[in-house]
Structures are given as structure tokens and as C-alpha cells.
Structure 1
Amino acid sequence: MSAGLVAQYAVIATVVAASLVHALRKLAPKTATRAQAALAATLLRPQRGGFAQRLGRFVQPRGASGDCGDGCGTCGTCGPPPAPTGASSTQPVRFHPRRSK
């Protein structure tokens, strides 16, 4: 196997892995965050070396910052505004008779 073919396979594997990570973060963000936190916890163990510690701090997911940009939704102010009081959010279902031909 030539060196060019090995480089081509390495680039393809990197692109496929990056798109898999991107899809996972888009479609299952909580699962991706949990996996990222588990990887960071493994790398941040005291018996690990300095490089693994730095990599663990880099990989560690960010916590909720408390502003409306992080999407945590704990305060309830980031979503749509609530319906005005007295207004009903449900609408009645109306059945109409068929028209005769």
C-alpha cells in the first residue's frame, strides 16, 4: 500500500469521524455532553500525565453560564413568552358536514 493511499484513508477517516461527532452533538446533545464529561473525567484522574490533564481540561464541557446564550432553560426566560392571562391556548375542534354533489 502506497503512502498516498494511506494518507487518503486517514483523511477520509478523519472527515467521517468529524461528521459523526457533529451529527451526534446536533441530534443528541445531552448524550454527547455526558460522553464528553466522561472522557474528561477519565483524562483528569490524578495518576494521569500532564498532557492528559491538559487534554482533559480542554475536552471538559462548559457549565451553564447563566446567560440566555447557553440554552440551559433553568430560569424560564429563554423560551417563548407565556400566553396572556385569561387567554386559552386551546381551540375547539369543529366538524363540518360534507358538501353534497
Structure 2
Amino acid sequence: MSAGLIAQYAVIVVLVGLSALYTLRKLAPTLVARRQAALAASLLKAGRGTFAQRIGRALQPRGATGNCADGCGTCGSCGPKPSDDNEDDEHPLTFHPPRK
């Protein structure tokens, strides 16, 4: 096996791994956040080196701050508020016949 082929396989493995991580973060964000917090907590234990603790602080997931600026969307109160005038809020669908 040549060195070029090994390098090619290494690049493919890295790209597939990054794609899987991106997909997992999009489809299961709470699972990823829990695992990330566990990894960060293990790196931040007392007695670890400064480099490991620096990586642990960088890996800590951002928590929801409880305001509408973080965009968590769990309470459903973020976004446009419906006005008292329902005419502006309603947008009925209009179907048109196909053009000939």
C-alpha cells in the first residue's frame, strides 16, 4: 500500500467523521450537548494539566440564558407576536389554474 493511498484514506476518514458529527449535532443536539459536557467535566477535574483544562473550558456547551436572545425556542414565546387585528395575521392560500 503506497503512502498516497494511505493519505487518501486518512482524508476520507476525517471527512466522513466530520460529516457524521455535523449530522449528529443537527439531529440530536441534546445528546451531543450532554456528551460534550461530560467530556468537558472530565477535562476540568483537579490535577489535570493547564492544556487539558483549557480544552475543557473551550468544550463546555453554552447553556440557555433564559432570555429570547439565545434562540433556544423551547418556551415558544420567541418570534413574532400575533396582533389584535386578525386580518393582518391571516394569509389564505389562493390556488390558480395552471397556465396553458
CA offsets, 1:12-40, max 9 Å, x none? 11111111111111111111100110111
Question: In structure 2, what is the equivalent of residue 52 of structure 1?
Answer: 52
Whole-angstrom distance in 1 between the partners of 2:80 and 2:28:
22
Q: Identify if the C-alpha distance between structure 1 residues 36 and 66 changes in structure 2 by more than 3 Å, giving closer, same or farther.
A: same
Question: In structure 1, what is the equivalent of residue 40 of structure 2?
Answer: 40
Aligned-pair identity in percent equals 65
Question: In structure 2, what is the equivalent of residue 20 of structure 1?
Answer: 20
Give the counterpart letter for 2:9 in structure 1: Y
TM-score (norm 2): 0.68
CA offset at residue 45 of structure 1? 1.0
Give the counterpart letter for 2:61 in structure 1: P
Task: Give the secondary structure class of the aligned counterpart of 2:46.
Answer: coil
Give the counterpart letter for 1:25 in structure 2: R
Give the counterpart letter for 1:70 in structure 2: D
CA offset at residue 72 of structure 1? 2.9
- Runs of 5+ consecutive residues of structure 2 not aligned to the other structure: 85-100
Question: In structure 2, what is the equivalent of residue 63 of structure 1?
Answer: 63
The alignment's C-alpha RMSD in Å is 2.4
Whole-angstrom distance in 1 between the partners of 2:21 and 2:52:
21
Task: Give the secondary structure class of the aligned counterpart of 2:77.
Answer: coil
Whole-angstrom distance in 2 between the partners of 1:3 and 1:11:
12
Residues matched between the structures, number: 84
TM-score (norm 1): 0.68
Structure of higher CA gyration radius? 1
Question: In structure 2, what is the equivalent of residue 93 of structure 1?
Answer: none
Whole-angstrom distance in 1 between the partners of 2:7 and 2:54:
28
CA offset at residue 66 of structure 1? 3.6
Q: Identify if the C-alpha distance between structure 1 residues 80 and 29 changes in structure 2 by more than 3 Å, giving closer, same or farther.
A: farther
